[in-house]
Amino acid sequence: MLIDFFYTLRAAKLPVSVKEYLTLLEALKANVIEPSLDEFYYLSRLTLVKDEQYFDRFDQAFGEYFNGIGDTATLALDLPDDWLAKKLQRDLTPEEKARIEALGGLDKLLERLKEVFDEQKGRHEGGSKWIGTGGTSPFGNGGYNPEGIRIGGDTAGNRSAVKVWDARAYRDYDDQVEIGTRNIKVALRRLRRFAREGAAQELDLPDTIRSTAANAGWLDLKMVPERHNNVKVLMLLDVGGSMDDHIKRTEELFSAAKVEFKHLEFYYFHNCVYDFLWKNNRRRHTERTPTWDVLHKFTADYKLIFVGDATMSPYEVLQPGGSVEYNNREPGAVWLRRLADHFPRFAWLNPEPEALWEYRQSVSVIREVLGHRMYPLTLAGLETAMRVLSK
């Protein structure tokens, strides 16, 4: 049984090794959990899943494998009667226990369930006797019976089953989901270069031990400045137009970056970078910063991060005068290339779903100009971008 479970996880592209599988078997042999499917879920996730980003994938594979109990053609009912009876009695409310008596008690209900398993030969929908869906039988899924056991599938909303065998709602930690501020901070921490600076305010334990030993055992405290992330980041943020659909995630990224990076500079642009940028969107027509000034002000050791959906007319990237707001002298592609040449460590983060990129001609153009250093604004994409920037 568990061999098939192991291969189900591997088929779901979970990095599960034989060593971890053997650890799970050892834990089961040592009886560290009760014979409960829920407890087996937590134990198997603990021993088999190394990273929380795979939790959602594990949940789906686990549910897919154990939801097979709903297929009566392959299911053999092999549960200890005493354990199942005790488990159900412990989980039932007084009202549910009273309703069970309508069938002659829990023993009668389980006995009838076994009989139906032995008699039924295939799938059944509707009806009042067999294990199936949409009927009034005490056994099955998607129907209604006030004294029933739901087997497999999702609830029909009646909330009348005595025991819900597979009800689960596990949090999604997959690396392809849209990300929040906390997860962004975790990913941004890959881009770190620590330096000690400022006043001495942190205990230097190794030096304190050495100094105390050299001082004949008299305590000699040594302090050092705190370590700070000394990496320097320049962010250029697309604003307005189609980016209005991505305001929330862009704000989360910007907020996390301000917390993680002590040396963070930022400017705004619209659709594509041209010969000027700005700091305040309300005064962007009166308070502009020439892009040449940005290139002269910030040294090549800054990490450059573009943030934008790259969704526009391709003329805005390739043609002089292509900007929708004014008559630019040089194409946006020229300015993008200048920035990329000046800041060798750069990346473009795109909040648009990666599956849509192939349908956006401007995305293909910008990716080509920037040497394909465009990454989706997902956990996996952000981590890949941070690795590129840290090289």
Selection from 53-57, 77-81, 139-143, 316-320 with the highest mean pLDDT: 316-320
Considering the chain, what is the average pLDDT of its residues? 75
pLDDT, residue 324, reads 84
Asked whether the beta carbons of 170 and 177 are under 8 A apart, the reply is no
Higher pLDDT, 62 or 348: 348
Strand ranges in the chain using DSSP code E only, listed in sequence order = 132-133, 139-141, 148-150, 161-164, 194-203, 223-229, 232-238, 263-269, 276-278, 288-290, 303-307, 346-350, 374-376
Instruction: Identify the band that residue 193 occupies on the pLDDT scale cut at 50, 70 and 90.
Output: low
Statement: residue 196 has pLDDT above 70: no
- Is the domain 232-390 a CATH 1.10.3470 member? no
Statement: residue 212 has pLDDT above 70: yes
Selection from 91-95, 131-135, 140-144, 228-232 with the highest mean pLDDT: 228-232
Higher pLDDT, 180 or 207: 207
- β-pairing, 276-278 vs 288-290, is antiparallel
Cα-only R_g, the chain: 30
d(CA 157, CA 364): 47
pLDDT, residue 142, reads 45
Higher pLDDT, 353 or 133: 353
Instruction: Identify the band that residue 293 occupies on the pLDDT scale cut at 50, 70 and 90.
Output: very high
Please report, for residues 18, 68, 244, the alpha-carbon distance to residue 1 in angstroms, rounded to integers and kept in the order given: 15, 12, 50
Long-range contacts for 41-49 (Cβ within 8 Å, ≥24 apart)?
Answer: 41/168, 44/5, 47/20, 47/23, 48/9, 48/14, 48/16, 48/20, 48/21, 48/24, 49/14, 49/16
Higher pLDDT, 35 or 46: 46
Selection from 222-226, 330-334, 382-386 with the highest mean pLDDT: 330-334
pTM over 0.75: no
d(CA 57, CA 363): 30
Instruction: Identify the band that residue 116 occupies on the pLDDT scale cut at 50, 70 and 90.
Output: low
d(CA 281, CA 269): 9
Please report, for residues 15, 224, 263, 358, the alpha-carbon distance to residue 378 in angstroms, rounded to integers and kept in the order given: 20, 37, 24, 18
Q: Per mean pLDDT, which range of 128-137, 192-201, 255-264, 326-335 is the poorest?
A: 128-137
The domain spans of the chain are: 2-70, 81-164, 194-229, 232-390
Q: What is the pLDDT of residues 125-183, one digit of tens each?
A: 545 444 444 444 554 444 444 444 444 444 444 433 333 334 444 444 344 444 566 66
Instruction: Identify the band that residue 84 occupies on the pLDDT scale cut at 50, 70 and 90.
Output: low
Selection from 214-228, 292-306, 372-386 with the highest mean pLDDT: 292-306
What percent of the residues of the chain are helix, what percent strand, and what percent coil, each to the nearest 5? 45, 15, 35
- The pLDDT > 70 percentage for the chain reads 63
pLDDT, residue 179, reads 55
Q: Which residues lie below 8 Å from residue 43, measured CB to CB, with a gap of 6+?
A: 24, 27, 28, 32, 33
Cα angle 384, 385, 388 (rounded to 5 degrees) comes to 90
Residue 289, Ramachandran bin (φ over 0: left; ψ between -120 and 50: alpha; else beta): beta
pLDDT, residue 299, reads 93
Question: Burial of 62 by CB count in 10 Å (0-12 exposed, 13-18 middle, 19+ buried)?
Answer: buried
pLDDT, residue 286, reads 84
3-state SS assignment for residue 217 = coil
Q: Distance between alpha carbon 327 and the CA centroid of its chain, in Å?
A: 42
